Structure 1
Amino acid sequence: MNQKVLCFGEVLWDAFGDGKKAGGAPMNVAWHLKQQGADVQFASSLGKDASGDELFAFLEKSDLDSPLIQRDELPTCEVTVQLDANQHATYIIPEPVSWDNIRATSELKKAAANASAIIFGSLACRGKRTRETLVGLLDDTSKMRVFDVNLRAPHYNLDTIQTLAAKSSFIKMNDDEAELLIRGRGDLKSKIIEFQKAYHPKTVCVTRGDKGALLFHNDEFYEHAGYPANVVDTVGAGDSFLATLVVGLLSNNDPNEVLDRACKVGAFVAGQRGATPVYPKDLV
């Protein structure tokens, strides 16, 4: 895939009881895009602190460092991850942190102008500065604008979600988020059609955990029942799924094959600790 992809938003430490891992949904997506051979850049902000230095070293090692990684007086983010009996994660996220203050630099504007796709989520948009920076990057409707909804209560409001949805050509959400955002009567497919009429995305994807995913793309539905996984934690599984989906659809591959591969990668990541495990050679 030779198109350029820009991932925008948070980078942080996910602190588990037995240690910490680099994370943040947009960074995770960038990391998985990189593993799959994409030409990807990542834009965020780190604190001018030791924690930020450690994260920058991780980004350097992952080939995700660039002038798009800003440094700020606000602290680097460290999130407490809590796992339930089914290893599903919930998050305690401090505020404010460095990625609440991502600025619209000349380097960032140039990267957005040159990208075929911009991938972003809702969490980094809780802060006014970062939200305004992102919205300014989404005016070019010729590129794929991928909104990974990724709601983290209480760090969102519906007005912002609706604004981002209206500026997106590709919206991905999980089934809980779909219950909140997709209104209407009938089954999920009927609701997605009504949602598409309201916001006009070309692509809508709803992930269903271990039950797979439903994809609406170019006015056609595609479904996959998912792959079994020995779940260690669910952190990053949806991010790896999205990265695989973006690579496949940007390459104009068959959506059935793309969805199958995305479910396979997501199941693999759910079986590993943390969001950024190295793939076995035969996975993609």
Structure 2
Amino acid sequence: MTTPDRRPTVIGLGELLWDVFPDGRRPGGAPANFAFQTEQLGCHGVLATRVGADVDGDELLQALREKSLDLSIVQRDPERKTGWVSVTLRDGHPEYVIHENVAWDAIEFTPALQSMMQQAAAVCFGTLAQRSGPSRTAIHAAVSATPAECLRVYDVNLRQSYYAEEWVSASLRLATIVKLNDEEVPVVARLLGIADEPLEFSRLLITRFDLQIVCITRGAKGCLVVTQTEHHDVPGKAIKVADTVGAGDAFTAGFVFAQLQEWPVGLSAEFANRVGAMVASRQGAMPELRREFAQLIEQY
């Protein structure tokens, strides 16, 4: 669960793609953003995904290799293209068109993936990469292969129409921690047939799915974090937003890092807010912030 230098192994499991903006393209996908931020925070960040055996895949992996991510279990698909998403920003907030039938729709549960999952101190997986049956089966098998003490984080991360009650419920049953944003709460509540008042919603999720923690992010308004015995309503930090792409993934990375340090839940939430805000204050989902994160960790 830790590397020889004692860094915990943290895995981002799911989609990897090019975010194609009007002014160019950048590596993207919530699992990749999450894994990169945990690497910057001092963990051993691993990406479990699938890209095409094409030039776009080569260039995408090279871009992430330069960011020090462990890509040793990334699969290459000889038939499907590397994934891409068309992104437009409206007042700093991203809108996505996610293209279908790409490599990460065919993730396989390989021996290499199983072996890495068995070493995980934490794994984060979402809903989007479960839109195809093969990837959904592989993701569920991979999460199930983690050690009992692994933090299994389900970042709901709803995109377009790529979700269903069956997938969401199965993912909630696999998780120990769930993270979603305040816009996703009523959607998930409607899928599950439960109340959408955030605190009640969180407590119902914890009870029904035997969860440890529910995190609801609220952008500039901070977050609500609920456990089986307590809840923390943590205000946001005023910043000048460059764009919000990847800020939620950075929050998740910050929260996981803090929990692996065994910090109290309330302190973990405050720290995660700060990490998410720092990313939102910069362009893109993967800004270089290692020095700033190290300084922030020292403050805590």
Q: Is TM-score (shorter-chain normalized) higher than 0.5?
A: yes
In 2, are the aligned partners of 1:81 and 1:90 still within 8 Å (CA)?
yes
Correspondence for 2:235 = 225
The CA deviation string for residues 248-284 of structure 1, in whole angstroms up to 9 with x for no partner, is: 0121112222211111111121121110001153344
Residue 149 (structure 1) aligned with residue 156 (structure 2)? yes
Q: Structure 1 length normalisation: TM-score?
A: 0.95
Q: Distance in 2 between matches of 1:250 and 1:162?
A: 26
SS of match in other structure, 1:83: strand
Q: Distance in 2 between matches of 1:119 and 1:191?
A: 21
Query: Which of 74, 82, 90 does residue 76 from structure 1 map onto?
Result: 82
Q: Distance in 2 between matches of 1:142 and 1:35?
A: 23
How many residues are paired up? Answer: 283
- What amino acid is the match of 1:121? G
SS of match in other structure, 1:21: strand
Q: Distance in 1 between matches of 2:220 and 2:157?
A: 17
Residue 242 (structure 1) aligned with residue 252 (structure 2)? yes
Quote the offset at 1:136 in angstroms. Answer: 0.9
Q: Distance in 2 between matches of 1:106 and 1:186?
A: 40
Correspondence for 2:271 = 261
Residue 67 (structure 1) aligned with residue 67 (structure 2)? no
Quote the offset at 1:187 in angstroms. Answer: 3.7
CA RMSD of aligned residues (A): 1.6
Residue 7 (structure 1) aligned with residue 12 (structure 2)? yes
In 2, are the aligned partners of 1:56 and 1:65 still within 8 Å (CA)?
no
SS of match in other structure, 2:236: coil
The CA deviation string for residues 23-71 of structure 1, in whole angstroms up to 9 with x for no partner, is: 1000000000000001221111111111111101012112224331111
How does 1:1-284 map onto structure 2 within 5 Å? Answer: 2-72=7-77, 73-84=79-90, 86-139=91-144, 140=146, 141-182=148-189, 184-185=194-195, 187-279=197-289, 280-281=291-292, 282-284=295-297
Q: Structure 2 length normalisation: TM-score?
A: 0.90
Q: Distance in 1 between matches of 2:52 and 2:267?
A: 41
Range with greater deviation from structure 2 (181-190 or 19-28): 181-190
Range with greater deviation from structure 2 (274-283 or 233-242): 274-283
Quote the offset at 1:170 in angstroms. Answer: 0.6
Q: Distance in 2 between matches of 1:187 and 1:77?
A: 36
Report % sequence identity.
34
Quote the offset at 1:172 in angstroms. Answer: 0.2
Q: Distance in 2 between matches of 1:170 and 1:36?
A: 19
- What amino acid is the match of 1:89? P
Structure 2: 5+ residue runs without aligned partners? Answer: 1-5
Quote the offset at 1:167 in angstroms. Answer: 1.2
- What amino acid is the match of 2:9? K
